[in-house]
């Protein structure tokens, strides 16, 4: 670690000033579950570690009538333990129980999981279907970026070199039915092989609103726009879900790696999406 300097700023403004000065060499340290691994692997070799863990501004949950805003430095465990999240976002709460493992949940932060831009980020699919936005802040101000427009590639985002993620803003709609499912090599502890999330709202027996997202099947977490379009406005049933599932293949482009082949991921992802749709709609799975 001798090629790194360390800064523990006493305010967000100080952190932003340091980031502006260091740019790509300014590394935000919150939970450190990814960054410290990258340092050990030699992927990150030098620079200034900007420790934001003690900045209270970034550790708050702000509740409004139509949304909840999570400070970027909130750990996954802190979000799970929030009565507000349990009451108003039960599906999000449930999904976080499968995030990595208990030790990682105690350290990993919501902002860090998003910023890392991994194709298999555990929070990404459900945040995508919930229409979350990322608040990117620089010394000159903030901008809100839809999560669907945030990822550009593995480990890459639209975040500028002088910006820090300060919050993740998530709309709340009590009429939405949401479900996320995940397949890992070991339940709840391993990286995802693939994952899927859905959000739907019904008007009578027909789909009024539909969001579908998947992780581990493309260079970034993705929305399944083609499959959404095929189902939109239809009467949701097992047969209807099955009849259009082939359309999902237009939305994904999984690769083969040590966790599974591309062909395997295609089949598993289709099954996960179908399962998530059935569960969200209250069908017996």
Long-range Cβ pairs for the range 143-149 (8 Å, 24+): 144/169, 147/114, 148/223
Per-residue pLDDT of the chain (285 residues; tens, 9 = 90+): 668 999 999 999 999 999 999 999 999 999 999 999 999 999 999 999 999 999 999 999 999 999 999 999 999 999 999 999 999 999 999 999 999 889 999 999 999 999 999 999 999 999 999 999 999 999 999 999 999 999 999 999 999 999 999 999 999 988 899 999 999 755 545 567 899 999 999 998 899 999 999 999 999 999 999 999 999 999 999 999 999 999 999 999 998 888 789 999 999 999 999 999 999 999 976
- Determine the pLDDT at residue 100: 87
Angstrom distance (rounded) from CA 182 to CA 110: 18
Give the class (CATH, top level) of 56-171.
alpha beta
Radius of gyration for the alpha carbons in the chain, expressed in angstroms and rounded: 19
Start-end ranges of CATH 3.30.465.10 in the chain?
Answer: 56-171
Angstrom distance (rounded) from CA 81 to CA 85: 8
Predicted TM-score (pTM) of this structure: 0.95
- Determine the pLDDT at residue 186: 53
Question: Cβ(13)–Cβ(137) under 8 Å?
Answer: no
- Determine the pLDDT at residue 167: 98
Residue in this structure with the two tokens 């996960």, named with its chain if needed: 272
The fold adopted by the segment(s) 4-51 is: 3.30.43
Start-end ranges of CATH 3.30.390.50 in the chain?
Answer: 177-280
Start-end ranges of CATH 3.30.43 in the chain?
Answer: 4-51
Question: Cβ(175)–Cβ(156) under 8 Å?
Answer: no
Q: Which two tokens stand for residue 158?
A: 């639209």
**Backbone CA torsion sign across 116, 120, 123, 126:** positive
Instruction: Identify the architecture of domain 177-280 in CATH.
Output: 2-Layer Sandwich (3.30)
């Amino acid at each position: 670690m001798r090629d790194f300097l360390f800064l523990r700023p006493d305010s967000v403004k100080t952190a932003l000033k340091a980031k502006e000065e260091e740019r790509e060499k300014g590394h935000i340290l919150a939970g450190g579950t990814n960054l410290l691994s990258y340092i050990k692997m030699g992927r990150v070799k030098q620079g200034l570690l900007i420790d934001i863990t003690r900045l209270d501004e970034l550790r708050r949950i702000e509740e409004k009538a139509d949304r909840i805003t999570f400070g970027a430095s909130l750990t996954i465990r802190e979000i799970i333990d929030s009565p507000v999240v349990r009451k108003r976002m039960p599906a999000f709460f449930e999904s976080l129980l499968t995030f990595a493992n208990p030790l990682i949940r105690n350290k990993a932060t919501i902002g860090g999981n998003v910023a890392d831009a991994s194709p298999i980020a555990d929070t990404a699919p459900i945040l995508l279907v919930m229409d979350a936005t990322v608040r990117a802040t620089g010394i000159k101000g903030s901008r809100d970026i839809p999560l669907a427009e945030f990822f550009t590639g593995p480990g890459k985002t639209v975040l500028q070199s002088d910006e820090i993620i300060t919050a993740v803003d998530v709309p709340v709609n009590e009429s939405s039915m949401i479900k996320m499912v995940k397949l890992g090599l070991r339940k709840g502890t391993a990286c995802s092989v693939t994952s899927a999330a859905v959000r739907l709202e019904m008007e009578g027996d027909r789909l009024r609103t539909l969001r579908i997202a998947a992780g581990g099947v493309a260079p970034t977490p993705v929305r399944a726009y083609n499959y959404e379009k095929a189902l939109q406005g239809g009467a949701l049933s097992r047969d209807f879900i099955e009849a259009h599932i082939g359309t999902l293949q237009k939305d994904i482009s999984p690769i083969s790696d040590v966790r599974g082949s591309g062909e395997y991921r295609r089949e598993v992802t289709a099954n996960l999406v179908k399962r998530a749709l059935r569960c969200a709609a209250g069908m017996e799975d």
